[in-house]
A and B are shown apart, each in its own frame.
Chain A
């Protein structure tokens, strides 16, 4: 059942993307929606290394992740030195600019897309092995993000997110923390990109645009920001819903608008009815002594508290 395998792989990939994006936007409060461009960098670098330089594919995927890691540092460093909103502007600029740029480079396929990317595992061990690989990476990512946010590093992120000035007053380096979290999240997205490239074997610059940004953001918001399982559930729900709708046997004249309305409808519904998402974030750093009625930081806020 290739169909089921494809859905499982896409769910796995989007779990990786949504989890790593939640690390950036939720846990660290960095407002950036350019996550797909690091996904794209990972995908293209991995594909080109494997295709042109015959680099072993696992190594190529890791190089893709490393490339995304490095380029995200380059974007974050200058923009984070100023302050929050500049990262949003700089990263969107980087995303859209790089997409336009990629469309004009013939050697990576240009606007027509990159074809004939070498496959990995599928020919030797069957498609199921790739599903297992992607799901394993997804589980590892979720566990890694959980480990990172529940340890001392997470405490630092929470402190900086909630009050950057106080955080700096304690002698901590906010810039360093922001850049490192941004880079870790983007590096993970890069690995996901490599995994995408060697299964689907075709990349096109346009597929990594703002539509994908909003899809990943929707997954995080619907699932529940700043929770371990929220992005996972968000990714699963938003991958399965559009597929489920096609099984209702609706005529295309209804199917089309319904698919189009679904994403925006879900976002609106959650913004009004349940802004914290399906799973509400626990205030993990409120401490055991926090009593009901006491201010609980910004743990229940939406996007605006970044």
Chain B
């Protein structure tokens, strides 16, 4: 450590100042009893633009809860740490939340982090709430890992059933990106559509880095489908749709929540008409609360949040935790991970401000209505709400 002195004089002085500041401020924290939970999200790195907006939404909710009296008059506090959406950084953050901040429950997202920290949650008997990650195996990560977010197959199943039953389509073509989620989701669509009485006439994949989709699209055109399901990423999906329309394919195209984005319409213009996507949360036209929420974003940030539905889920998360804490606190039961889990499963159904009701099923999944949206007149408009069984 002697070597630190060589270059560290300036740093040392600042560190001392910062340290003094911390010790001064941390003194206040003990003045009032606080009930804490953790939030581990990417604040830096490639996913930061989403992570930061989600954290902001959660902070608003915590402020609102405290304004409304907190947890039976006690202060409700959220400890936020950075995960960079990286498993290893996430592990450190969650260990810190559990060992240092002693939270009985924490919220995290991004599949890699959710899975990496699951053993820590289970070993320490601390509730992990996954909010936003949708890998199907999240439901099988252990006793203490729950999700409030519907996993990948929920919205695909809804689209397939709606196409077959409500739209009355009998012949579907499936076009999907050749990666893990693409393959998995395409299978879910195919199986659901066939089960609902339809027939899959073409089942084509394209390479992840492809820019020309004429080959698979021509095969699809030759199979003469009544509807096409596109399972791609937000990056190349607009191009796939544009090329399909250029090739004279006019049948409706469905997709999933990934392409529900204002950019799609900007890029495609008139070619976007009739494209159907899904959303896992109600939109501004479905609920006044959501409208007020989006308006607040426009007022305070001057833009809609990145990944609006995800921020809605994150806004609701503190309300869910607060409901559990309030109930435990009223009974005078200590806030431990075990008790939080028990109470959460006992309450079972929570009514949340921006995403509606959520019910924890015994198989660690949740079921939510799927909102179908369609491009009409150059705007995303609500088409239908599908309730999965």
Contacts and interface: CB of A to CB of B under 8 A. Distances in A.
Interface string B90-110: 011101101110000000000
B43 A207 contact: no
B82 A2 contact: no
Contacts of A256: 43-44, 48, 52, 82
Interface residues of A, number: 41
Contacts of B181: 111
B211 interface: no
Given A202-B115, A233-B3, A249-B26, A4 B99 contact: yes
B116 A243 contact: no
Interface in A247-272: 247-249, 252-253, 255-257, 259-260
Contacts of B98: 2-3
Contact of B179 (A4, A104, A253, A279): A104
B18 interface: yes
Contacts of A110: 180
Q: Tell me whether chain A's interface is mostly helix, strand or loop, or mixed.
A: helix
Contacts of B26: 249
B25 interface: yes
B385 interface: no
A112 B81 contact: no
A200 B88 contact: yes
B92 A255 contact: no
Interface string A150-164: 000000000000000
B289 interface: no
B88 A255 contact: no
A7 B99 CA distance: 12
A113 B99 CA distance: 26
Contact of B137 (A6, A115, A248, A274): A115
Interface stretch (B118-126, B218-226, B228-236, B348-356): B118-126
Given A3-B98, A4-B99, A10-B92, A278 B7 contact: yes
A257 B115 contact: no
Interface string B20-39: 01100110000000000000
A204 interface: yes
A1 interface: yes
Contact of B180 (A103, A206, A252, A260): A103
16 contacts: A6-B91, A103-B180, A104-B180, A106-B180, A111-B180, A113-B111, A119-B119, A200-B91, A202-B116, A203-B87, A206-B86, A206-B112, A243-B92, A259-B44, A278-B4, A278-B6
A-B interface, 6 closest residue pairs, ranked by CB to CB distance from nearest: A256-B43, A3-B99, A260-B44, A202-B116, A3-B95, A6-B95
Interface of B: 3-4, 6-7, 18, 21-22, 25-26, 43-45, 48, 52, 55, 59, 80-82, 84, 86-88, 91-93, 95-96, 98-100, 111-112, 115-116, 118-120, 124, 135, 137, 141, 179-181
